Amino acid sequence: MSVTILGIETSCDETSAAVVVDGVEVKANIIASQVELHQKFGGVVPEVASRKHLELINHVIIEAVEEAGITYQDLDAVAVTYGPGLVGALLVGVSAAKAMAYGLEKPLIGVNHIEGHIYANFLHRPDLQFPVLCLVVSGGHSDLVLIEHHGSYRLLGRTRDDAAGEAFDKVARAMGLGYPGGPLIDRLAREGNAQAVQIPRAYLEEGSLDFSFSGTKTAVLNYLNRTKQKGEEVNTADLAASFQQAVVDVLVDKSLLAAAKYNVKTIMLAGGVAANGLLRRQLQQEAGKKDIQVAYPPVILCTDNAAMIACAGYYKYLRGDFAPLTLNAIPALTLGADKY
């Protein structure tokens, strides 16, 4: 008997609904992006995002169900992101999911947004063997997570200040490249020399698996200020390449350190920054030297989407891990700490 899950994702600035069967077959994955709406502000404005979610949520759900070619009664459960994220944005998705679950008399499944990003890998590669290490890199997170079986998460390291994606966005803004910064820097860096500008790498204490990118970002800002004061022209391609290399070096080195420490033979990438070309290439190259497999989702599944939420929801459905209709948004929800 197949299991059909409707996933809903509204944690930040994408309104998304998806229908996934048995955790692998994506019948529909509708994503309404707000990037153009927030570009003029240089970043996501929470209240603007919340209002846009309200405007779009019913439309994306209807479109997802229609594209999947099913009826609402064909659904076995409704899975929704309930944290972490922007509280107003989360509430839109949670409210819609609760209403649907109640009206259809179907189970409600609460999914951690980071868990969703992790499960984008299992949506693409359900054959991945445990234990696995996942590097979750996005605008709000830089986490190293050890997963010993479905639903078991051990946080090994996390950012102490700016997340990797946040640093990309702030540096891109300072360089006048626009928003979102990650793809813009990745594209520009291909034309530059990654050794042209000396950018520090923050490895913290010996053996630490935590991250810190605030100093890396500040080094770029200081470089821009110095060159401006001297009246010199900035080679933006070289600066983008040097900054990106500094971030990727730390991400890769810490991932390999964690894999060796916990004897893990598979490293997964997840989150928006997992789409970064240099990160994918360098991790594969360095991990290959140690006979470690690297997995990452297609680019469309790296950014926020509801298919990954439906996939995570499928595995929670199999465990009977359902949420009550009193489920609330938890903007600072931590991984593995379900608070129904």
**Quick one: average pLDDT of 7-31?**
96
Q: What is the pLDDT of residues 131-173, one digit of tens each?
A: 999 999 988 889 999 999 999 999 999 999 999 999 999 999 9
In a domain, residue 218? The reply is: yes
- Using alpha carbons only, what angle is made at residue 86 by residues 85 and 87, rounded to the nearest 5 degrees? 105
Shared domain check, 227 and 145: yes
In a domain, residue 113? The reply is: yes
In a domain, residue 72? The reply is: yes
Phi–psi pair at 44, nearest 5 degrees: -80, 130
**Quick one: average pLDDT of 165-187?**
92
Shared domain check, 258 and 231: yes
Confidence of residue 124 (pLDDT cuts 50, 70, 90): confident
Shared domain check, 136 and 108: no
Shared domain check, 106 and 72: yes
Count helices and strands (H / E) in the chain: 10, 10
pLDDT at 262 over 80: yes
Question: What is the domain range of residue 253?
Answer: 130-297
Q: What is the pLDDT of residues 289-299, one digit of tens each?
A: 999 999 999 99
pLDDT above 70 covers a percentage of the chain that reads: 98
Overall number of domains in the chain: 2
Q: What is the model's pLDDT at position 339? A: 66
In a domain, residue 250? The reply is: yes
Q: What is the pLDDT of residues 283-334, one digit of tens each?
A: 999 999 999 999 999 999 999 999 999 999 999 999 999 999 999 999 999 9
What CATH number does residue 287 fall under?
3.30.420.40
- Using alpha carbons, select from 210, 337, 304 the residue that is nearest to residue 15: 304
**Contact in structure between 217 and 171 (CB atoms under 8 Å):** yes
**Contact in structure between 255 and 133 (CB atoms under 8 Å):** yes
| pTM for the model | 0.93
d(CA 20, CA 75): 10
Shared domain check, 158 and 210: yes
Shared domain check, 107 and 213: no
Shared domain check, 261 and 310: no
Beta sheet of 25-33, edge-to-edge order: 25-33, 14-21, 4-9, 77-83, 108-112
Shared domain check, 252 and 190: yes
Shared domain check, 135 and 12: no
